[in-house]
Structure 1
Amino acid sequence: MLLVIIRTLILYLAVVVVMRIMGKREIGQLQPFELVVALMVADLAAIPMEDTGIPLLSGIIPIIILMAAQVTISYISMKSEKARGIICGKPSVLVANGKLVESELECLRYNINDLLEQLRAKNYPNLADVEFAILETNGQLSVIPKSQKRALQPEDLQINTKYEGMPMTLVIDGRVNKENLRKVNLSEEWLRTELSKFGVQDLKKVFFASLDTAGKLFYQLKAEPGGGRA
């Protein structure tokens, strides 16, 4: 039993490392060749995991070979547009200039009901509002609405907006992120001083704290649903 546990943990770690090296994409974002590799890796790991008579290397070596092949193909497709077209395919335009492209729908065996379903999922229930609909190589549908139907932007009203960057996380579950503090040229002492203004003396009681680009500090205490804002 102990042997099975050890083998399972080793294979699990091997698969995690391999998938980590292969990239950070979600299943829905994988290219066809990447999905095939992911499925094959899972199958190769399952065989020696179930049968203790099979050496671990019989499962790990093919997994490493698949990883090397996937990384090589990804590199080639990144450097060569022609190779990328062969390996990943090309996006297909299903709606162009507000009109359905019948030839593309037939070629992809993509019926209109499927297209309408995907458009509804993108919050475009009316086909008449769509200027372009493009089926990407990973199977995702990109929608470009007609200019009259797009959401109003500040630029349309000639309104100048302030810069909005990413808020910087400073505390998670009572632990201070010193690296992020250094990035914004602040110290832990500054953080303690700011939180003390709101009666927070112990950083370990802080569940979450972040600083936005406007210099506003947001915090929430542990076991306190309301939290607070500085």
Structure 2
Amino acid sequence: MTISFIRTLMLYAVVILAVRLMGKRQISELQTSELVVTLLISDIASIPMQDSGQPLASGLIPIAALVMFEIVISALMLKNVKFRKLVCGKPIIVINNGVVQQNEMKRLRMTTEDLSEQLRQKNVFSIQDVAYAIVETNGKMSVIKKPEKEQPTAGMLAVPLPDNGIETVVVSDGVISDFSLQLCQKNKDWLDGVLRGQHLSTEDVFLMTANTKGDFFIVKKEEGK
């Protein structure tokens, strides 16, 4: 029992390391090669987890090989456009200048319901509002509305907007994030000064956000928490 637990823990750590080495992507953003490697790694890791009679190396070596292959393939795709198209395919335009491309939809085996659903996920509720819709190589759809259907921006209206910079969580449940402080161009001295002005310590703070302009927002911990 103990051996199975240790083997599972080790394989869990190896799979996390493997996914980290392949890069940070959500499942919906995985390219074809990345999705295949991810599925294979999960299957391979499950074998030595379930069968303690299997040598641990029988899981670790294939996982290491798959990660190495994926890194090499990713490097080749960066350098060779033809190889990238061969592995990942290419984007397909399903609405071109307002015209639905029926042949391309058949090629993708995409129904009109699928098209409408993906447009709704982009906050587009009428096909007539779309100038271009492109199915990317990861399966997600990019949508460009017709100019007259786009919402006006502050730049179009010549309305100046204040730039408050990026807002980050600098304190989470009493713990200071050095990375977030650096991201909003602040330091611990600034943070200590703000908390002293509010008669608080970091242990009293459940959530604190700040931006590069120096604006901050604090949520205190509830009593007894």
Q: Secondary structure at the match of 1:152?
A: coil
Amino acid of the structure 1 residue aligned with 2:26: E
Q: Could you say what secondary structure the match of 1:156 adopts?
A: coil
- Measured after TM superposition, the shift of residue 207 of structure 1 is 1.4
Aligned-pair CA distance for 1:148: 0.9
CA distance in 2, matches of 1:179, 1:29: 26
**1:47/1:183 CA distance change after superposition, 3 Å:** closer
The answer to whether 1:160 aligns with 2:160 is: yes
1:221 aligns with 2:215: no
Q: Secondary structure at the match of 2:156?
A: helix
Q: 212-221 or 89-98, which moves further after superposition?
A: 212-221
Any stretches of 5+ residues in structure 1 without a counterpart?
A: 225-230
Name the CA shift for 1:127/1:67 in 2 (closer, same or farther; >3 Å): same
Say which is worse superposed, 187-196 or 52-61, in terms of deviation: 187-196
Aligned twin of 2:138: 138
Q: One-letter code of the match for 1:191?
A: L
Deviation of 1:179 after TM superposition, in Å, equals 4.9
Whether the aligned pair in 1 keeps the contact of 2:94 and 2:101 (CA below 8 Å) is yes
Residue of structure 2 equivalent to 1:63: 63
| Distance of aligned partners of 1:91 and 1:217 in 2 relative to their CA distance in 1, 3 Å threshold | same
Shift of 1:72: 0.7
1:85-124 equivalences in 2 (<5 Å): 85-124=85-124
What secondary structure, in the 3-state scheme, does the structure 1 residue paired with 2:94 have?
strand
Moved more, 42-51 or 173-182: 173-182
Q: What's the % identity of the aligned pairs?
A: 39
Partner of 2:134, secondary structure, is: strand
User: What is the deviation of 1:186?
Assistant: 4.6
CA gap of 1:64–1:169, structure 2 versus 1, over 3 A, is same
TM-score, L = length of structure 1: 0.90
Q: For structure 1, which segment, 78-87 or 190-199, has the greater mean C-alpha deviation from structure 2 after superposition?
A: 190-199
Deviation at 1:178, TM superposition (A): 3.8
1:203 alignment partner in structure 2:
202
Residues 1:141 and 1:186: Cα distance change in structure 2 (over 3 Å): closer
CA–CA distance in structure 1, aligned partners of residues 38 and 5 of structure 2: 23
**Equivalent residue number for residue 4 of structure 1:** 4
Q: What's the secondary structure of 2:166's corresponding residue?
A: coil
Two-structure CA RMSD over aligned residues (Å) = 1.7
AA paired with 1:29?
Answer: E
Distance between the aligned counterparts of 1:121 and 1:183, measured in 2? 31
1:185: Cα distance to partner? 6.0
Residue in 2 that maps onto 1:172: 172
The code of the aligned residue for 2:54 comes to: I
* Cα 1:98–1:184 shift into 2, 3 Å: closer
Matched residues in 2 for 1:183 and 1:142: separation? 30
Q: 1:25 to 1:151 in 2, by over 3 A?
A: same
Structure 2 unaligned residues grouped into runs of 5+? none
The one-letter amino acid paired with 2:215 is K
Partner of 1:45: 45
Alignment-derived partner of residue 25 in structure 1: 25
Q: How many residues align?
A: 223
| Partner AA of 1:82 in structure 2 | K
TM-fit CA distance, 1:78? 1.5
